[in-house]
Amino acid sequence: MSESAQALAARLEKRFGETLVETRVHVGQVTVKVAAEHLRSVCLALRDEEEFAFRQLIDVCGVDYLDYGRADWETSEKATSEGFSRGVERREDRQETIDTGRYVVVYHLLSHENNQRLRVKSEAPGDPPCVDSVVDIWSSADWFERETFDLFGILFDAHPDLRRILTDYGFIGHPFRKDFPLIGEVEVRYDPEKRRVVYEPVSIAPRTLVPKVIRHDERYAGEESNDA
């Protein structure tokens, strides 16, 4: 872990104290988790205080933790327990492995003055999930928040123009949610008689996927010997 990252984490904990739910340094990247009610005050301080000077917002994205960390199959050494999870019948005996709500918003910040990066996470509570907008703090958040709303259905309170930005005007649902079907809900085609694009129920047959099998044969003999 880099010393600068550790120093930044220490300054953040000293400045914000219990306002930070969690502080983590991993492979030189500092991540802090902030409660939704403190998000704006922390973001303002991170931008305006010279000690931090995070003037630029690089990205805003959403995360859906539905079924995160849960295995989908009874497995052995020959098959993995994760991946391709939408094409199989789910088990009922799986356990959560993280302590968070379903939706989280992630902000990636950059300080040119201090040559540092910071990841800020905030849980989006409620139904529908909602956090405060930071458009008036970083103007680049405008389209990023619209994208997160479009794909995850997370609302941003006080956003000046929260509309879909990637999907069509009549699109139903939010395609990056984990419970959204991979084949979608509808498909479109051009109707020559109506002379326009029409929506119809999806006609693609769902394909059942199986766990990836990891074979221990001579192709991996060299890797196993090196690990040993």
Q: Which tens digits make up the pLDDT trace of 11-23?
A: 999 999 999 999 9
What strands lie across the sheet with 20-26, from one edge to the other?
20-26, 29-34, 116-123, 103-111, 56-64
Show the tokens assigned to 85. 């999870």
Share of the chain above pLDDT 90, in %: 60
pTM for the structure as a whole: 0.76
CA distance 50 to 149: 31
Range list of H helices, 131-171:
141-152
Q: What are phi and psi of 22, to 5 degrees?
A: -155, 145
Interatomic CA distance for residues 60 and 217, integer angstroms: 43
Residues 64, 178: contact at Cβ < 8 Å? yes
Cα–Cα distance measured from residue 34 to residue 31, given in angstroms and rounded to the nearest whole number: 10
Average pLDDT over residues 169-177: 88
What CATH number does residue 59 fall under?
3.30.460.80
Work out the mean pLDDT of the chain and round it to a whole number.
83
- Provide the domain count of the chain: 1
Distance CA 66, CA 75 (A): 21
pLDDT tens figures, 60-100: 999 999 877 665 555 445 455 554 444 444 445 444 455 67
Q: Could you tell me the residue range of the domain that residue 165 belongs to?
A: 3-227
